[in-house]
Amino acid sequence: MVAMTYWLWKLSPFFARHITRGHDSILGTPNLTLLDLYNFAFLLIGLYFAVDSFGPSLTWFHYALTQSSSYGTLTPQQQGNFYTLFKYLIKLFLGIALVFNGRKFSSKILKYQNKAVEPDAAHQRLSGRDV
């Protein structure tokens, strides 16, 4: 598998030239900001978490419902199944939260970064060094 990945990586320029033959493949990003990049990162990670855990959480949810309705008390194995279900549900909800709140998280990160940079710049001005 690693060898196949390596060769796909090495041959990717060859494939790209043949796939995009006759098309302008230059991608201009003059208006791309740091906020846009953070938004994209939160969206991508959120989608990964949500898509990765959606199927298993449905499967474990169905399995947990059928197991809990069959018996009056839960065995240790069935209790472990609930832990597995919650593991996937937490990952699913985290992914959904990242998808829908990514812009808010991005702006908070930028505000935090700006506050962290300002004291350093003020300290440099006071000590006589240019920023």
Query: Rounded to an integer, what distance in angstroms lies between the CA atom of residue 80 and that of residue 110?
Result: 41
Place 68 in a pLDDT band, splitting at 50, 70 and 90: low
Is 24 part of any domain?
no
Query: Is the confidence at residue 130, as pLDDT, over 70?
Result: no
Q: What is the DSSP string of 104-121?
A: HHHHHHHHHHHHHHHHHH
pLDDT digits (tens, 9 = 90+) for 6-56: 998 999 888 888 887 777 667 677 788 889 999 999 999 999 999 999 998
Q: Which two tokens stand for residue 50?
A: 């949500």
Query: Is the confidence at residue 131, as pLDDT, over 50?
Result: no
Is 131 part of any domain?
no
Domain count for the chain: 1
Query: How high is the pLDDT of residue 86?
Result: 87
The one-letter amino acid at 45? I
Q: What does residue 92 show for φ and ψ, rounded to 5 degrees? A: -65, -45
Is 102 part of any domain?
yes
- Which residues form the domain of 81? 31-126
Query: How high is the pLDDT of residue 119?
Result: 63
Per the model's pLDDT, the better-predicted residue between 66 and 53 turns out to be: 53
